[in-house]
Amino acid sequence: MLHTVTTSPFQTAALADCLRYSNQNDAILLLQDAIIAAIDENNWCEALKKSGRKIYVLQEDVVARGLAGKVAESFEVVDYNGFVLLSVKCETQMKW
């Protein structure tokens, strides 16, 4: 399953809920304001690293927020084509 999260974990519980209800085989794509969780050395970044899930971050949102080069290396940064490929690969999706 592909989980897409769009809101900052510092403003809503969407990412926390996603981590609670997803499983180890699921992928999580951070979009829009949710990408802040992928910035190295914050509590959410560490929680994502420890979750055991495959974490993806949308490149265009990273660039738009001036955060290029600040995403943790353990996460995969994908462009819109990568987003489409993830959507095709994962039969089911959940938006948080």
What are 12-38's pLDDT values in tens digits? 999 999 999 999 999 999 999 999 999
Burial string for 50-80 (b: 16+ CB within 10 Å, else e) reads eeebebbbbbebbeeeeeeeebbeebbbbee
Angle between helices 14-21 and 43-51 (to 10 degrees): 20
pLDDT in tens, 32-79: 999 999 998 889 999 999 999 999 999 999 999 999 999 999 999 999
What is the domain count for the chain?
1
Which residues span the domain enclosing 56?
Answer: 2-95
CB atoms closer than 10 angstroms to residue 35: 26
Gap between the Cα atoms of 29 and 86, Å rounded: 9
- The predicted model scores a pTM of 0.93
Domain with 51 in it: what CATH number?
Answer: 3.40.1260.10
